[in-house]
Amino acid sequence: MDRRSFISLVSALAATYNFKLPYRARAEELNLASGTAAAGGFPDIVAVMGGTPVEMLDRALTAAGGLSRFVKQGQKVLVKPNIGWDKTPEEGANTNPTLVKHLIQLCFKAGAKEVNVFDNTCNHWQACYSNSQIEAAVKEAGGTMLMAHEESYYTEIDLPHGVALKKAKVHKAWLESDVIINLPILKHHGGARMTAAMKNLMGVIWDRRHYHRTDLHQCIADFTTIDKKPTLNIIDAYSVMMRNGPRGVSTADLATKKMLLLSTDMVAIDTAAARILEAQPDEIAYIAMAAALNTGIADLSKLKIERITI
C-alpha cells in the first residue's frame, strides 16, 4: 500500500467511523465528558503506515511517549502475541516474529527485569512455537517462552461484570505480570469476523472452546472487563489475512497493508483495525458489546488519533 492508498484508507475511516486523522487538538478540546482523552496529551491511537514492521513500531512508540512510559525499571513484562497456528511467518496466521523480538529488546532497554511470552495455541503448542519462529525470536531477544498447554498453569478468576462469561481460568503469567503488552496480528476470522486486540486474549484462558459453546462475541467482550487489562495494545497489520481466517488457506488470502496500530484502548484499536480489514462496525458484534460494558471507546471521534506515514 502506497502513501496515496493510505490516505484513501484514512478518508474511508473518517467516513465510516468519524475517524479524524490527523488530529492535534488543543488542550481544552481534550476535556471530553467521558474523560477518555489520552493523559499528557499523547494520542489515544497511533496509526503508522509504510516501512518495515520494526520501523513502524519505533515510530508508533515515539508518538505515544516512548516505551518507558509503559515499562518501568525492574518490572515483569508479558508480551502476548498470536502464536495460535502451526504456520510459518510468510503464511500470516501469527504475529510477525521480528516484531516480537524487537519489542522484547525494547522492554529490556526500558528496564524490564524479565519478559515472558506465551499463547494457549489452537494447533500443537510445540509446532506453533517453533514454526511461527516466535520461540526463536523470543530467545534471541533474551525473553522467556512459557508453556500454556496444561490446566495447572491457570487460575480461575471471577468476571462479575461479564454477561455470558462470569468466570475464566487465566494463565498465571497474566495475573502476575506488572505490564502486559497485547501484540496480535490482524486477520479475518470465520466466527468472530476479525482477530485483533480483544480476540487475541482468548489465548490467555484455558478453555477457549467455552467461548464457542456459549456466545463467542459476548465472551470476547466480557473478558475485557477483567481487572488487569493490557497496558498497551499493538496490532501487526503489515500482511493481513483478508479471508479464510484464522488459519488461512494460502498466501493468496493475504494483502500487504504495511500498517501498525497502537493504543491503550482495546475497543478503540479494534474499531480502527476493522476498517483495515474492510469490515463494517456491525459485522463485529463484540466491539459494540465491549463498548457497552464501558471497557473502551468505539466512537473514534472522541479520541485523539495520530497518523504517521513513513
Tens of pLDDT along 153-163?
Answer: 999 999 999 99
235 Rama sector, left if φ>0, alpha if ψ -120 to 50, beta otherwise: beta
* C-alpha cell of residue 181: 503488552
Instruction: For residues 38 and 213, give the distance between their C-alpha atoms in angstroms, rounded to a whole number.
Output: 37
Specify the amino acid at residue 188.
H
What CA–CA distance (Å, rounded) separates 250 from 264?
32
Q: For 257-276, how does the pLDDT look when each residue is reduced to its tens digit (9 = 90+)?
A: 999 999 999 999 999 999 99
On the question of pLDDT at 2 being above 70, the answer is: no
How far apart, in Å, are the Cα atoms of 162 and each of 29, 157, 242, 295?
A: 33, 12, 30, 11
283 secondary structure, DSSP code: G
What percentage of the chain reaches a pLDDT higher than 90? Answer: 85
The share of the chain scoring above pLDDT 70, in percent, equals: 87
Average pLDDT over the chain, rounded to an integer: 90
pTM comes to 0.89
Band of the pLDDT at 79, cuts 50, 70, 90?
very high
pLDDT of residue 13: 52
Tell me the pLDDT tens digit for each residue of 204-255. Answer: 999 998 999 999 999 999 999 999 999 999 999 999 999 999 999 999 999 9
Residue appearing with cell numbers 493523559: 39
Number of structural domains (the chain) is 1
Residue 34's pLDDT band (cuts 50, 70, 90): very low
**Which residues are registered as beta bridge partners of 77?**
115, 179
With CA atoms as reference, report the closest residue to 223 among 171, 280, 147, 179.
171
Closest to 79 measured CA to CA, from 308, 259, 309, 233 = 233
pLDDT of residue 23: 30
Residue 238 belongs to domain spanning: 3-309
Residue 65's CATH number: 3.40.50.11440
